[in-house]
Structure 1
Amino acid sequence: MRGVNLGDRLDDGANNFDVIRLFMAWAVLVSHSFTIVGVAEPFHQLGTTLGSAAVLIFFAISGLLIRRSWELDPRPVAFLRKRSLRILPALVVVSVTCALVLGPLVTDLPFRQYFSSMQTWSYPCWTVLMTPFGAVLPGVFVDLPRAYNVNGPLWTLRYEVIAYGLLLVMGMTQALSSRRIVTAVAATAIVWACLVAPEAPLFGGWNAVAAFAVGACAWSWRDRIGLSHPGAALAVLACLASGLTGLLTVHVAVWTVAAVYLAFWAAFALPLFGQRLVSWGDASYGLYIYAWPVQQSIVQFLGTDTSPLLVTALATPAAWMLALASWLLVERPALRGKPAPGPRSAPRPLAGHIGRE
């Protein structure tokens, strides 16, 4: 098969982005099934985890699509409103649900003591504010390998907001109009991620920001980026080879760039696949933010010696149903409040980009 051009495929509207995001959210769930019971996952031997690799792909896709969103409607207030409507409503609901529904069911404390604790009532606020160290609920998950960790994956949202902010600043200062500046920023983000890598085992938040920056940079070079099967194979081989070097900086740099290429290759160079899974809408965000509390609850009731595969098997349908409910009842209605397109908006939005602008 001949390679395809990223710019051409962005224009034709057919892609696998929704499906990829859904699979990446599930990959995070699978990865965390090992983490939650205190067992190293097999993928760890490659120098990362399945969940960390999935987060890089999430950010890579977000970088391209959020950059495109800005180019179509470069109004700062509209940009902030769209970003807020995409993230905050579901985050508020999941935090309140954890505090007022899940917490009372799994806490070690009596109900009266649980509901009289300030931690219970402050949890939604600290969660929505995306505090660096997260928030805890009194008596919840105290004896698990990941003790007191109510919703671990939410730490990445802070870095996504940082990435949004950086893109907004570059857009408002006209820096996005220069390929050289955008490329320099992406390169700097990779270097910074490599420098902080020793302080962030596996892949940290700045590595995800770097993936976002490279994804946004790809928009600037979309007319020159080819996506092909040999290119994807080379990206995979580069990831495997980087692990053999023993150099964490090389590993981080290679995986960041490779994640971006592989995300776009799967979205545009492969035939459409799994579309029935996303026929209800984009449930990836809901799956991402509900899976961990479900998994922790399963381990709480079944014990810490529960098999990671069993945790995955039980958590997948439960988290999937919560994710669909989140999309249908919270996220999709909230997105109806997005501002009307600006005068520079393209007449045809990118298909498969449901609610993610």
Structure 2
Amino acid sequence: MTIHTHLASSPRLADILSPDRNSFGVLRFAMATLVLVSHSYLYAAGTSVAEPLQPWLGRSLGECAVRVFFILSGVMVAQSFDRSRSLVDFTVARGLRIFPALIVCVLAVAFVLGPVVSTLPAGAYFKSTELYGYVVKTLTLATGSAPLPGVFETNAYADYVNSSLWTLKYEVACYVALGLLGVAGLFDEKLRWFAAAGLGAIVATVSLSLPANPDDYGFTQNLRYFVVYFYGGVLAYLLRDYLRISGALLLPLFLMFIASVQTSFAEVGAMLFLGYGALWAATKTWGPLRGLCNRTDASFGIYIFAGPVQQALLWLFPAISPVVLTLVAFAIVLPLAIASWRFVEKPSLQLRPVVTNWIRTAGRRALPIFG
């Protein structure tokens, strides 16, 4: 059977966008878990170079997982805006998805875990301006690497409290740009091909002049890096009616990915292979996992709670191996993530229409004042 025949009989992306037709939730859960695995090596050794697969992948397993996160986010968030076509509704939805759980995590780490593991006495800890700086900087997404006073100073990856959070500001930046593009007509059916062509050009070229060493990236370089993956997902959504998903294309895309390593097109090659591979994996049911992950989305909770738990375990047991650290941390983090979904994230998302209506009502009342 030829590749053309495989493609003709394969589902389109548009056919699997309903949650009961895809396994995006399973993939997000898997990617969050891979970040936890990757960070076990980072935290235990103090460097990501310790990760066994890094020399072969070119980047850490966690970085590859985050790439897939951004691709899937691009698809799902584009669909979210396209359905509502409302900047207010879109903004509220994005805010409620990220900030309630983030606030709980940051406050719990700063005011519950922090004083227990800090080298400072409790009185000095709570008087430290660094404590409140951590809360403000982390919740405003100014940085994901703000330290807490006396916390994890003796760990191998010293002073880092929750290194996963550094990506959130880039995701929010991608959201903001997508909202503006959506208002400008990105999802207008009449402009679909112009929008796809323009977005395709951006995705193909935005990373061409990035420094070879990611350690040299600043905010702008990191943003360009993440734009490739997030807007690669948005581009896939724009082309959803034409994008066929077949395993027959995985090998050619993998070969392109390998050939692009160490070239200017490395990020584009990685985006195409990882993105298409993720969409292909999303067509599989994965047994009962699809239903479980659709009912309980623990992925974000795993992502934001894992770091402090892993660092605390290393504070208690400095000689623990990365494998044991992974297993013990996952056993602790998974219940936390499930509780975060059930008691924080899901109830917050259910407030979406209430918050949206309140903002619209407040806006209407304010118009006569400014008019």
TM-score, normalised by the number of residues in structure 1: 0.88
> Could you tell me the percent identity over the aligned residues?
34
1:5 equivalent in structure 2 = 12
Counterpart Cα distance in 1 of 2:184 and 2:50: 45
The 5-angstrom pairing of residues 106-185 of structure 1 reads: 106-132=117-143, 134-177=145-188, 178=191, 179-185=193-199
Q: How many residues align?
A: 337
Pick closer, same or farther for the CA change 1:329–1:267 going to 2, 3 Å. same
Counterpart Cα distance in 2 of 1:154 and 1:142: 19
CA deviations 1:107-158 (Å, max 9, x no partner) are 1111111111112123222111001363210000112222111110101110
Structure 1: state its 5+ residue gaps. 343-357
Larger radius of gyration: 2
Is the contact made by 1:3 and 1:229 (CA closer than 8 Å) also made in structure 2?
no
1:312 equivalent in structure 2 = 326
Is the contact made by 2:119 and 2:150 (CA closer than 8 Å) also made in structure 1?
yes
1:348 equivalent in structure 2 = none
2:85 equivalent in structure 1 = 74
Q: Secondary structure, in 3 states, of the residue corresponding to 1:42?
A: coil
Residue 286 of structure 1 aligns to which amino acid in structure 2? G
Pick closer, same or farther for the CA change 1:227–1:202 going to 2, 3 Å. farther
The 5-angstrom pairing of residues 89-104 of structure 1 reads: 89-104=100-115
Aligned-residue offset at 1:278: 2.1
Counterpart Cα distance in 2 of 1:202 and 1:48: 14
Pick closer, same or farther for the CA change 1:138–1:290 going to 2, 3 Å. same
TM-score, normalised by the number of residues in structure 2: 0.85
Residue 335 of structure 2 aligns to which amino acid in structure 1? M
Counterpart Cα distance in 2 of 1:295 and 1:202: 27
Aligned-residue offset at 1:176: 3.4
Pick one of 265, 270, 286 that aligns with 2:280: 265
Moved more, 62-71 or 186-195: 186-195
Aligned-residue offset at 1:237: 3.4
* Greater relative contact order (CA < 8 Å, ≥ 6 in sequence): 1
Is the contact made by 2:19 and 2:294 (CA closer than 8 Å) also made in structure 1?
no
2:306 equivalent in structure 1 = 291
The 5-angstrom pairing of residues 315-326 of structure 1 reads: 315-326=329-340
Residue 297 of structure 1 aligns to which amino acid in structure 2? A
Note if 1:238 corresponds to 2:256.
yes
Note if 1:18 corresponds to 2:29.
no
Pick closer, same or farther for the CA change 1:183–1:215 going to 2, 3 Å. farther
CA deviations 1:162-220 (Å, max 9, x no partner) are 11011111111113333323332343244223322435249945322221101111111
CA deviations 1:79-106 (Å, max 9, x no partner) are 1111100000001110001101110111
The 5-angstrom pairing of residues 344-355 of structure 1 reads: none
Aligned-residue offset at 1:160: 0.5
CA RMSD across the alignment: 2.2
CA deviations 1:324-343 (Å, max 9, x no partner) are 1111111011111112799x
Is the contact made by 2:105 and 2:304 (CA closer than 8 Å) also made in structure 1?
yes
Aligned-residue offset at 1:250: 2.6
Counterpart Cα distance in 2 of 1:288 and 1:12: 21
2:62 equivalent in structure 1 = 51
Aligned-residue offset at 1:267: 0.8
Structure 2: state its 5+ residue gaps. 1-5, 357-371
Is the contact made by 1:126 and 1:134 (CA closer than 8 Å) also made in structure 2?
no
Moved more, 234-243 or 218-227: 234-243
Is the contact made by 1:153 and 1:289 (CA closer than 8 Å) also made in structure 2?
yes
Residue 89 of structure 2 aligns to which amino acid in structure 1? A
Note if 1:30 corresponds to 2:37.
yes
Pick closer, same or farther for the CA change 1:202–1:333 going to 2, 3 Å. farther
Counterpart Cα distance in 1 of 2:216 and 2:269: 13
Is the contact made by 1:49 and 1:202 (CA closer than 8 Å) also made in structure 2?
no
Is the contact made by 2:164 and 2:303 (CA closer than 8 Å) also made in structure 1?
yes
Moved more, 108-117 or 131-140: 131-140
Residue 44 of structure 1 aligns to which amino acid in structure 2? Q
Counterpart Cα distance in 2 of 1:292 and 1:310: 15
Counterpart Cα distance in 2 of 1:190 and 1:132: 28
Residue 294 of structure 1 aligns to which amino acid in structure 2? V
Is the contact made by 1:52 and 1:202 (CA closer than 8 Å) also made in structure 2?
no
Is the contact made by 2:71 and 2:233 (CA closer than 8 Å) also made in structure 1?
yes
Is the contact made by 2:117 and 2:152 (CA closer than 8 Å) also made in structure 1?
yes
